Structure formats: C-alpha cells, structure tokens
Amino acid sequence: MATIDLNKAPTPNPFGNLNPCAACTVRDLSICQVLDKKDLQRLAEIATNLTIAPREPILDEGEDAAFLFNVTSGTVKLYKLLPDGRRQITGFLYGGDFLGIAMNASYAYSAEAVTEVTLCRFPRKKFEHLLTVLPTLEQRLLSAASNELVQAQDQMVLLGRKTAKEKIVSFLLSLSQRRADRDETPSPVDLPMSRADIADYLGLTTETVSRTFSVLKRTGNIRLLDGGLVELPDFDTLREIADGY
C-alpha cells in the first residue's frame, strides 16, 4: 500500500529522546536490566518507540530482518504458517520480552499485536554493533536465548506428547508462573488472546479448546471470570493434571 502506516509511525516521546529508557516501566524485566545509566543512554539513542494497534502486523516471516524489538507493554503473538493456511503460534510475548533473537538475515516467523502493544525498536545493524561494545548486553542476550530454548523444549513436550486437557492446564500454569515471576498474584490469569490463538499455540482446534475449558470448569479445576480472567483454585491438582500423573 502507498499510504504511510500510522500504526508503525514513531511516537514522539516525552523525554525528547534524551533517555526514554530511564522511564521504562519494564526495564528490570528486559535485556536492558544489565546496563548502567551511560550504556542505557547509548541504547536509547538507537531506539524508537512505537505503538501498534490490536491485530496489526509487527513483522513478517521471510522479511529482511532490519529491526529488533523490546516489548514494553501489551501482548504479541509469534507464528508460522504452512502453505495451506495451517498456523502454529510459536510463542506469546509480553512486556519486557525481547523480539528477534531467533533470526538470521530474515525473520523466522511473523509477529502480530494481540492487544495494543508498545515497542522499543532498534535498527539491527546498530544494535549488533552495540553488542560488540557492551559485553554485558551480549551476555544477557545469550542468557535470554538459553531461557527461550528451555521454554521451546517444554513446548515440544507439550505439542508432541500431551493430551488436550494437559495442554490447556500447562498453558494456564505457565501464564500463572509468569505472573509469579513478576511478583503478581498467580491467580487469576488474564487471557488476552482468542480461543483460536490458544488453539494454534497448543496444536488444537478452537472447538477442542472451548470444550476442554468447559470440562475444566465443570470439574471445578478452573473458574472463568469476566474480562477473560481465569481463576486457578488449586495449583497442586492443576500441576498433576498438567504433567499427566
């Protein structure tokens, strides 16, 4: 399309780009955590703040990987498509997550905003240069990659060997764990994504996801609240379900 995509337009930031990172609310969760004030300033100099509306694309698989991102708020989904349209969501990103570790010259997956999303965008070349100068940043990135790999392996177990019920409960527990990691209450958890998204993340169909939620609700293992919130009343039982005891 010929028009400028307003969703991707940089928003002027209230700090005049002097050091927007200083005010970043998710800095302690992100890769920036390891940088001191001076280095943060250097990162800020190559960063642009963006806001993306729900359902808007952030990047496309195969596209030249010109930018890397930090998610500062909202929920992002990463996915890959098969030629006939089958979709696998490979992950959801939230505030503090880094987007762009798994790429070569081009992006290995597509990314789309689930909710309204704010991002910190870095030109790849400049970011990579910064990596060579800031060894702590590179170490942090390696550690992030290592964590992502561990997560990816758990997801392979889920996709290859778990039943629908185990998949759903594992998913809910992982969302709960993420909350706990950020010192939030582990229940209720928020589900900003659709049933279809959950299905494509867990290797199921929307119908099976819906049915499984119904069963879990009926057996008292979860409670569905308003606003897409899910209450988890008994973690011990849920953990047993998730791991198939």
Partner DNA sequence: CGAATGATTGACGAATATCAAGCTGCGTGG
Partner DNA sequence: CCACGCAGCTTGATATTCGTCAATCATTCG
Q: Which residues bind a copy of itself (CB under 8 A)?
A: 78, 80, 82-84, 86-88, 90, 101-104, 108-109, 131-132, 135, 138-139, 141-142, 145-150, 152-157, 159-162, 200, 202-203, 243-245
Integer Cα distance of 83 and 207 in angstroms: 23
Total residues binding DNA (CB under 7 A): 18
Residue 138's binding partner among DNA, a copy of itself, none (Cβ under 5 to 8 angstroms by kind) is: a copy of itself
Does position 122 interact with DNA (CB under 7 A)? The reply is no
Cβ-based neighbours of 184, under 8 Å, separated by 6 or more:
none
Location of structure tokens 């290592």: 146
Q: Is 236 in contact with 230 (CB distance < 8 Å)?
A: no
Scanning 62-70, 148-156, 181-189, 197-205 for contacts with DNA by CB under 7 A, the matching segment is 197-205
> What does the DSSP assignment read for 143-168?
HHHHHHHHHHHHHHHHHHH--HHHHH
Cβ-based nearer residue to DNA, 137 or 204: 204
Does position 168 interact with DNA (CB under 7 A)? The reply is no
Summary count for the chain: helices (H), strands (E): 7, 11
Q: Which of 108, 131, 144, 224 binds DNA (CB under 7 A)?
A: 224
Does position 243 interact with DNA (CB under 7 A)? The reply is no
Does position 141 interact with DNA (CB under 7 A)? The reply is no
Residue 230's binding partner among a copy of itself, DNA, none (Cβ under 5 to 8 angstroms by kind) is: none
Residue 83's binding partner among a copy of itself, DNA, none (Cβ under 5 to 8 angstroms by kind) is: a copy of itself
Scanning 1-9, 39-47, 118-126, 198-206 for contacts with DNA by CB under 7 A, the matching segment is 198-206
Supply the Cα-derived Rg of the chain in whole angstroms. 19
Integer Cα distance of 74 and 244 in angstroms: 32
| Residues pairing with 69 in the sheet | 99, 121
